[in-house]
């Protein structure tokens, strides 16, 4: 019976340690905000990056100059 009491006390003590969705974590953002930021970052990283301004012109000049010897 004493063991059951200790086990119940341990379970009750650890239930207060879980983090809720609205509780701020590291950096002051909540768990749900962190998930949203991760999803947004993943979406941005998966997009194709546009060419750097002027890169196409530089490549065209390099190709045109390579044929002239």
* Tens place of pLDDT per residue across the chain (69 aa): 676 777 777 766 666 665 566 777 777 888 888 899 999 999 888 887 666 666 777 777 777 766 555
Domain residue limits at 43: 23-47
Does a structural domain hold residue 33?
yes
In a domain, 60, yes or no: no
In a domain, 53, yes or no: no
Alpha-carbon span 24 to 48, nearest angstrom: 33
How far apart are the C-alpha atoms of 34 and 31, rounded to whole Å?
Answer: 5
Q: Does 12 reside within a domain?
A: no
Q: How many domains does the chain have?
A: 1
Q: What angle do CA 27, 33, 39 make, to 5 degrees?
A: 110
Threshold 0.85, pTM exceeds: no
List % helix, strand, coil for the chain (3-state, nearest 5): 65, 5, 30
38 and 29 Cβ atoms separated by less than 8 Å: no
């Amino acid at each position: 019976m004493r063991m059951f009491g200790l086990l119940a006390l341990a379970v009750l003590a650890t239930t207060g340690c879980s983090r809720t969705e609205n509780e701020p974590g590291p950096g002051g953002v909540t768990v749900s905000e962190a998930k949203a930021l991760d999803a947004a970052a993943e979406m941005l990283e998966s997009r194709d990056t546009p060419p750097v301004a002027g890169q196409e012109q530089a490549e065209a000049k390099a190709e045109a100059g390579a044929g002239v010897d």
